Amino acid sequence: MKIVIPDDYQDMVHLLPSYALIRHHDVVRYRTPARDLDQLLERLEDADVVVAIRERVNFSRAVLSRLPRLRLIALVGRNARTIDFAACTELGIPVATGKSNSPVAPAELAIALMAASRRNIALEAERMRRGEWPCTLSHRLRGSTLGIFGLGAIGSLVAQAGRGLGMNVLVFGQEGSRARAATAGYEAAADKADLFERSDVLSLHVRLNAGTRGIVGAEDLARMKPTALLVNTARAELIAPGALVAALKAGRPGYAAVDVYEEEPVTGGNHPLLKMPNALCVPHLGWAEWDNFDLYFGEAFEQIVAFEKGEPLRLANPEVKARCRMG
């Protein structure tokens, strides 16, 4: 089979131990995103299988309908908002999903960004590389208030780490978050305004859906302290469009550390946050570490092997079974 991996940004998929599962096939990997729809279709037109890496490619009906040879999409992870599952079903294209959802790597990145931003690590490392000597004062974590917006699997690990560093954990979220906060002995914020007003570091861990899109607005950010840090390793769309840039310019909060953007990848330095000295930006690294990659890609590759053998798949669109493209 011809297997296409459209966006192997790290150029590392072929080095994963799990890659051995599909190495015997005709595998084509692309390091950079397609520049336009025509190039994307050119890259995918001969594919029997496409490995969809998270949400890097928009598999719309317009794209899927022009891929008559496509017999399987193997999804890296458990879900993707960029796949038109209804179109896949109508066109007879099964979408096989992963089964794991490890919170460890993204939680570690949130903590790393928190420490790096509060202690000016990236700024001072770059200055020293240029031959300068450190010249800023930073903020300690111990004794400060760590706000957690959404105490789910990732937020819980970040809260644990914050407590271990001597931070006071303040939680706000839905009923489940409040219940977990009570069990863990964390303080619950009275409301969202209380969370934003009191946090020295505020880390977002809310799942993106129709109800949470734009849940952080300009009025929330304006409540934050001028010394406070907002950390977003969840989804950029949780924050109202343009609100974070405007807030940083206004000085509340004073700092931001982000790993997610409305449109990815961000290339050529083309994002307003990259031009702001009080923003620490990294390129969606939350899940990008060796163990995580081998776990998620391994599950996708196992589904390709199952498909090849005619074995049952973990399907995101189980109703496709009556329409599957064969041979």
Please give the backbone phi and psi of residue 168, each rounded to the nearest 5 degrees, phi first: -90, 120
pLDDT in tens, 61-78: 999 999 999 999 999 988
d(C-alpha 317, C-alpha 324), whole Å = 11
d(C-alpha 219, C-alpha 185), whole Å = 29
Nearest Cα to Cα of residue 181 among 209, 206, 160, 204: 160
235 is catalytic: yes
Of 118, 180, 235, 271, the catalytic one is 235
pLDDT in tens, 256-284: 999 999 999 998 999 999 999 999 999 99
pLDDT tier at 55 (50, 70, 90 boundaries)? confident
What domains are there in the chain, each with its CATH number? 2-101+289-322 (3.40.50.720), 104-281 (3.40.50.720)
Of 71, 180, 284, 299, the catalytic one is 284
pLDDT in tens, 190-219: 999 999 999 999 999 999 999 999 999 999
| % of the chain surpassing 90 pLDDT | 92
Position 144, amino acid:
S
Of 264, 289, 323, 325, the catalytic one is 264
264 is catalytic: yes
Locate all alpha helices (DSSP H) within the chain, ordered by sequence.
37-44, 61-64, 85-90, 104-118, 121-129, 153-164, 175-184, 192-198, 218-221, 243-250, 290-309
**Degrees to nearest 5, angle at CA 198 with 192 and 202:** 70
The CA-atom distances, in angstroms, between 107 and each of 45, 148, 216, 237, 293 are 38, 12, 20, 19, 15
pLDDT in tens, 235-261: 999 999 999 999 999 999 999 999 999
H-helix or E-strand spanning residue 148: strand 145-149
Entry pTM: 0.92
pLDDT in tens, 179-193: 999 999 999 999 999
Number of C-beta neighbours around residue 165 at 10 A: 16
Q: What is the residue whose two structure tokens read 């769309």?
A: 237
284 is catalytic: yes
